[in-house]
Amino acid sequence: MARQFDVPTFYKSPIVSVVKEARRIQDPRKKDLSPSILDFGPVRFNLARHFGFCYGVENAIEIAYKAIEEADGRRIFLLSEMIHNPHVNEDLISRGIQFLRTTSGKQLIPFEELKPDDMVIIPAFGTTLETMQLLSDIGVDVEAYNTTCPFVEKVWTRSEKIGSQDYTVIVHGKRLHEETRATFSHARSVAPVVVVKDMVEARQLASVIRGSESKEYFYEQFEGKYSEGFDVEVDLVRLGVVNQTTMLATETAEIAALLKRALFERYGNDGISHFADTSDTLCYATNENQDATRRLIDQKADLALIIGGANSSNTSHLVELCEEHMPTYFIGGPESLISRTQIKHFDLHSHDVKHSYDWLPETNPLEILLTAGASCPDVLLDRVMSQICSWFPDASSPETALKPFLEITA
C-alpha cells in the first residue's frame, strides 16, 4: 500500500478527495487516464486523472509542519520556497517560518546569523553540496528536516554513478531553478556537466558533438551552463542525460535520443556505447500528470484552467500542453476568478500577470478542463469550481455532482 502522509486538514478537499478515492477504487493500478466529469448542469468540469500533491510534495509538507510542532521556541528557517505554491508558502510564513533565500538564490538572511540550534528545512528541490556544507559548518542539523524529494535524489545518485564511469552528465533543466542548481552541484563533484533547457539548445549541443560547430561556439552558446574546466574535445565523447524532474518528460526523451544519434553519427556503431541509459530517472508523478493532461485535452472543451504557482515548472508545462489546443488560463486559485467577465492569470510568454475579459463563453453546458500542478492543494480546485458555479443560479449542488463517485466509495 502507498504511504499515507499526515497533510494538514485545511489542504484537503471535500469534493476532489471523493473523486480521487472513487478513481483509486475503480483503477488501483492507475492505468485509466480518462478524466473525471463533475456535472453541475450548466457547467461541467473535466478533471485530469492525475494532478495535485505528489509523493515528494506530501513528504515535504509533512516534515515542515512536523518541524513547526517540534520547534519549542527555536527559530525555523526555509532555505527557499519549500514548493512552488504561494498558498502553502504563505501559510508556513504565517506560522513563523522565515526564508533564507529567494527561489533565484538571492540571500535574504545571511547564513552568519544562523545558530547551531536553529531548524533549517531543506526544500523538496534539494540544495547544493556547497550549501549543505555551509550549514553543517555552522552546526545546523541538515538532515533533521531535509525534505528533498526521493526522485530528485534518484537523479543525483544516477548522475554520480554515470559520472564515476567517465560519462559527462547532461541535465535537461532550467539552469537557475533550485533543483537544477542542486543537481548540477551533485553531478559536477564527479563529472563534467552541461545544462540544456530545451530542444533548441540540445540541437546546438548535438552540432558540437558531430563536429559541425567549433568548441568556441559551445563556450559562447552555453556560457554559464557548463562546469568549470569543461573540455569540449574530451567531455562530449561519452554522455548521459538526466533531468530536472519537473520538465516535460517527452522532451527529455527527445533530447536523449537526439544526443545519442549525434554520438552515433560521430563515432559510428561505437557511439552506442558512448551513451548511458538513464531513462528510469524520469519522475513518475511528472509523467502521470503530463500523460493525464494529454488525455484530458482529448476531451473537447471550451477552455482550460490550470492551477498552480506562477514559478512552478511542472505546472507551466501543463499549461503549454493545453494552450496548443484551447483558451488556457494559468491561475493561482479562486482569487484569480474576479468575475464572470474578468480573470487574472499568468502569461508564460510575457512572464506577466494579465487580466482577460469576457473569458467565460456563453455555451450551455459550459465545458471546462481543470487540472493542477504537483504542488497545488486539492482544496483550491474545490474553491475554483465553487466560485464558477456561484455564477450559475441553476447549478446543481456538489452532492448531486458527486453522486456517481459517492456510489463507488459507499
Q: In what order do the strands lie in the sheet with 275-276?
A: 193-196, 168-172, 239-243, 275-276
C-alpha cell at position 225: 551552463
pLDDT at 23: 97
CB neighbour class for 404 (10 Å; exposed up to 12, middle 13-18, buried from 19): middle
Q: Catalogue all structural domains in the chain, each as residue range(s) with its CATH number.
A: 9-53+285-409 (3.40.1010.20), 55-138 (3.40.50.11270), 168-281 (no CATH)
pLDDT at 2: 55
CB neighbour class for 259 (10 Å; exposed up to 12, middle 13-18, buried from 19): buried
pLDDT at 1: 40
pTM, entire model = 0.87
112 is catalytic: no
The residue annotated as part of the active site, out of 179, 320, 362, 399, is 179
pLDDT at 103: 83
CA distance 147 to 77: 13
Residue 251 neighbours by CB under 8 Å, 6+ apart: 172, 198, 199
- Which is more confidently placed, 306 or 61? 306
pLDDT at 73: 92
* Residue position matching grid coordinates 492507475: 30
Using the predicted structure, report yes or no on whether residue 315 has a pLDDT greater than 60.
Answer: yes
pLDDT at 280: 74
pLDDT at 194: 98
Using the predicted structure, report yes or no on whether residue 10 has a pLDDT greater than 80.
Answer: no
* Residue position matching grid coordinates 459507499: 410
- Which is more confidently placed, 3 or 188? 188
Asked which of 205-219, 240-254, 274-288, 350-364 is least confident by mean pLDDT, the reply is 274-288
Using the predicted structure, report yes or no on whether residue 282 has a pLDDT greater than 80.
Answer: no
How is residue 135 annotated by DSSP?
A: H
Q: What does the mean pLDDT of the chain come to? A: 93
pLDDT at 130: 96
